[in-house]
Chains A and B, each alone.
Chain A
Amino acid sequence: MLSIKNLKAEIEGKKILNGLNLEVKAGEVHAIMGPNGAGKSTLSAVLAGRADYEVTEGTVDFDGKDLLELSPEDRAREGVFLAFQYPIEIPGVSNTNFLKTAINEKRKYQGLEPMEATDFLKMMREKMELVEMDKSLTSRSLNEGFSGGEKKRNEIFQMAMLEPKLGILDETDSGLDIDALRLVSEGVNKLRNKERSFIVITHYQRLLDYIVPDFVHVLYKGRIVKSGDASLAKELEEKGYDWIKQEVEANS
């Protein structure tokens, strides 16, 4: 589904991704861990198409398409969804109107008619339950005045509504208390299926107790330096990142 080869990216002349490789197959959940500043958010931003980052080398293939050639909106409509680490507030744009527009733009792209209003509302209701979103939040402006936890839940709610092929979760767990963490994780788990893949970026192992990954990768200095199964996350939790850093320095 997603094949990243030798990806290099920089911002303002600063090299951040230094030849990153990653293969994600349909239905798999990949966790990406790594110390602060390793380039995790950069990877997610480059995949979503943020213009600030310049890709200097490498390829990203998404279901046979050259992802890097697509505009951010086309990437989304092809099925990439990024749950932001810091979702922003957009006053004056209502949550509901925003989602309706997003869904219908995706349908238009797929050559489908806009969704019936009643179907849309029904879908909203169902997906809201998934993350126990408060109904009053949907009538408000996008994320405006939402608590940190509400914003993160809204990201997952949007993901549920847009039904992507690939969900990228950038530190969705940060700033969540244990109840919200469980809620968000359960929401994600319900969205897991044979076709849909996830890249779960996290700093802590905690989230991976709930969303159990098929693979765990360690991102350090813009490259994936170690990969393993779910047990790697546990090892990192116990030992921290220093031993990985030492391994990398020793090999270089």
Chain B
Amino acid sequence: MFRISLFEFRIYREIMLVENIKAEFNLYKNQAEKSDFFLKREQAFAEFEKVGFPTTKNEEWKYTNLKNITNQSFQSTCESTIETELMLSHAFLKDLTANKLVFVNGTFRSELSTIIETNESIVISTLAKAKTAHSELFNKHFGKYAPIEGQGLNAMNTALLSDGAFVYVPNKKTVTNPVIIVNIADSTDVNVLCQPRNLIIVEKSASLTLVETFYAVGNNPSFTNAVNEVYANENAHIEHYKIQNQEGESYHNNFTQIFQEANTNINHVTLTLSGALVRNNLHFFMNGQNCNSLLYGLYMPHGNELVDNHTRVDHAFPNCHSDELYKGIMMDKSVAVFNGKIMVHLDAQKTNAYQRNQNILLSNEATVNTKPQLEIFADDVKCTHGATIGQLDEEPMFYLRSRGIPGDVARKMLLNAFADDIAERIKIPELVELLEQEIEKKI
């Protein structure tokens, strides 16, 4: 941690986080052995130094200003001092039978984690361990899907990642219970920076249910900068759920690249319940025919929260299908950004790609910026997109009230109905239940 006088603080305000990152990397550099992994990180660091943090001048970041993050100092290897029980009391899905990997401030906590999978060919571990224990797989896949060129935040994660999950499902194997990655940012003592990095490899005809959850405890700011690389080999099936519930001054940037070989089936749902600033970058790349990619999201920001979902689906081969639906319930002065890019490459004939973004404004002061982006280079395709922003409809409201249901109850019923389109994409009943409770609580 730096100690600087108030005067200096003013001068360095603009470059606080950058300075942290540079200092931290120099520290790491002096200790690290000069492995391939190190070279990758050094390269990433050079890229980070070159491009830095995205600013609103960048078209992709027009509505999402990171200055509240980059103007502050964050510390990345800090211990958590609060009691584990208190900490875990915030966690969702506590009672779900699952494989659990718990990370607190980016550090793996084995005493809080449980692996119940009995099939020994399936690996549910950490990135730090996999680097040596499964070096071949690690080297084959790590850093191959999430690009760092021009991507300051990805480069920063690669240069200084803390730890993360490593999951490997061999051919034809099914992980019986979900794998839950619990990420907790504990900012009780200091401003904390967490940079989780997950590598998920699902081989041919294998299947996996993956859940990522994010929480924050403590009153200081926290910044989570996560990168996920998910590789789905032919015929693989992945259910992927991301639940973001970081209250308080929590900032969150997330880059997820899902790389799909032929005949793969991916169902992804992002639930953004809370977070001062949440930016999700969700990218799918279809690297073979007959892929099915489903992208769903629900966000319900309140107060001054900002939720930004940037998605990109690359249809690079023929006969693939993608369906995308993001829904927002906007409260108070919250802001939402949706940018859905669908790229249909030249050879990707018979592509079916659908995209919708629907928003309900519960306040006059909430804002939604929505932009579908279809870039189609093939000629035999079916693509549709649409976006809506509006108030809760009067007609259904009146219908329910005319049956004796009071306005506030009717409103809840209709918002639940609105969210139902997303809830029904979730195949874990406990998670659906939880979502319903959260909606109840938030609205």
Q: What is the interface of chain A, defined by CB distance below 8 A to chain B?
A: 48-51, 71-73, 75-77, 81-82, 84, 87-88, 90-93, 97-98, 101-102, 105-106, 109, 141, 158, 162
Contact = CB atoms under 8 A, between A and B. Distances in A.
Contacts of B417: 90-93, 141
Given A93-B413, A101-B413, A49 B418 contact: no
A73 B404 contact: yes
B9 interface: no
23 contacts: A49-B402, A71-B401, A72-B398, A73-B402, A73-B404, A73-B407, A76-B403, A76-B404, A77-B404, A84-B399, A87-B399, A88-B399, A90-B414, A91-B417, A91-B420, A92-B419, A93-B413, A93-B414, A93-B416, A98-B400, A101-B405, A101-B409, A109-B404
Contacts of A49: 401-402
A92 B404 contact: no
Interface size class of B (residues with CB under 8 A): 20 to 34
B424 to A, nearest CB: 9
B414 A102 contact: no
Nearest to B396: A90
B403 A98 contact: yes
A76 B404 CA distance: 5
B36 interface: no
Interface of B: 394-396, 398-407, 409-410, 413-414, 416-421
Given A73-B410, A93-B416, A105-B404, 14 more contacts: A48-B402, A71-B401, A73-B406, A75-B402, A76-B401, A76-B404, A77-B404, A90-B399, A92-B414, A93-B413, A93-B414, A101-B405, A101-B413, A105-B406
Contacts of B418: 92
B414 A162 contact: no
A50 B398 CA distance: 7
Which of B410, B414, B418 has most chain A Cβ within 10 Å? B410
Contacts of A75: 402
A149 to B, nearest CB: 19
A102 B405 contact: yes
B414 A73 contact: no
Nearest to A141: B417
B403 to A, nearest CB: 4
A105 B409 contact: yes
B396 A88 contact: yes
Given A50-B398, A93-B414, A105-B409, A158 B420 contact: no
Nearest to B424: A92
B398 A102 contact: no
Contacts of A48: 402
Identify the 3 closest CB pairs spanning chains A and B, nearest first.
A92-B417, A76-B404, A92-B420
Given A72-B398, A88-B396, A90-B399, A162 B404 contact: yes
Nearest to B404: A76
